Amino acid sequence: MKRPLALVVEDESNILRFVRANLRASGFEVVSATNGIDALEQFEKVKPDVIVLDIMLPKIDGLEVCRRIREGSDVPIVMITAKNDIQDAVEGLNAGGDDYITKPFAVDELLARINAVMRRAKANISHVQSDKIKIGKMVVDMTQRAVSVDDQTIHLTPTEFKVLNYLVNNLDKVVPHEELMLAIWGEDYRDCTHYLRVSIGRLRQKIEKDSSNPEYIVTCSGVGYMIRSKV
């Protein structure tokens, strides 16, 4: 089997060496970059299977690198944040990161995050009831994993699609935060609802006419989210 290819972007050479050596020991091929511009060039060149991306980088920071990659790619991305600060983490997720890890981190934790984002990116969508569902002007094609609104194709990350898909599969039902966390992110993330909040925010930016006044994804305050069959 082909070894998965990881792009590691980090300007601190000791951390870069540490991550590179451990990923190689765990069966990855590794290419690296030490600034944001180099990261984007490497990304285009090698098309990695996963990216480990430090936020604080010279030239272009990791958040901007992540946003640019997300313009055309679903590649799983684990951000590295310097501070144990939820705001930093939320910015990373907002920029399109799938997960984050805080410095200093243990290699086991990094590998667990990498494996989790890769698994989520690959996992098939379960509970598919029918091919296409139309809700108002939105069409969700469960098997093609495609979404359009007003005939415009919407580009969603795998996580965003899974959140949308889960809500669509539970039409007209309020899905509690905890259920979504368990279904999409898994047991270890049960209490990390900021992941969900960020994904819902990004989904709304993409599918709603006015994301501050959403028609499709309705907030049921303090409980969860719902998509109604009639918009």
Residues lying near Ca ion in the complex (CB under 5 A): 11, 54, 56
* Of 102, 105, 20, 104, nearest in space to 55 by CA: 102
| Cβ proximity to Ca ion, 23 vs 135, nearer residue | 23
Q: Is the peptide bond before 176 cis (omega within 30 degrees of 0)?
A: no
| Cβ proximity to Ca ion, 49 vs 54, nearer residue | 54
| Cβ proximity to Ca ion, 6 vs 39, nearer residue | 39
| Cβ proximity to Ca ion, 11 vs 208, nearer residue | 11
- In the complex, minimum distance from the CB of residue 100 to Ca ion, in angstroms, rounded to a whole number: 14
| Cβ proximity to Ca ion, 54 vs 74, nearer residue | 54
Compute the distance between CA of residue 24 and CA of residue 226 in angstroms, rounded to an integer.
43
Question: 16 vs 8, 10, 24, 48, 54, CA distance in Å?
Answer: 7, 6, 12, 17, 10
Determine whether 133 is exposed, middle or buried from the number of CB atoms within 10 Å of its CB (0-12, 13-18, 19+): middle
Compute the distance between CA of residue 26 and CA of residue 44 in angstroms, rounded to an integer.
24
- In the complex, minimum distance from the CB of residue 88 to Ca ion, in angstroms, rounded to a whole number: 12
Q: Which residue is nearest to Ca ion (CB)?
A: 56
Q: Do 100 and 81 form a contact (C-beta atoms < 8 A)?
A: yes
Q: Do 63 and 69 form a contact (C-beta atoms < 8 A)?
A: no
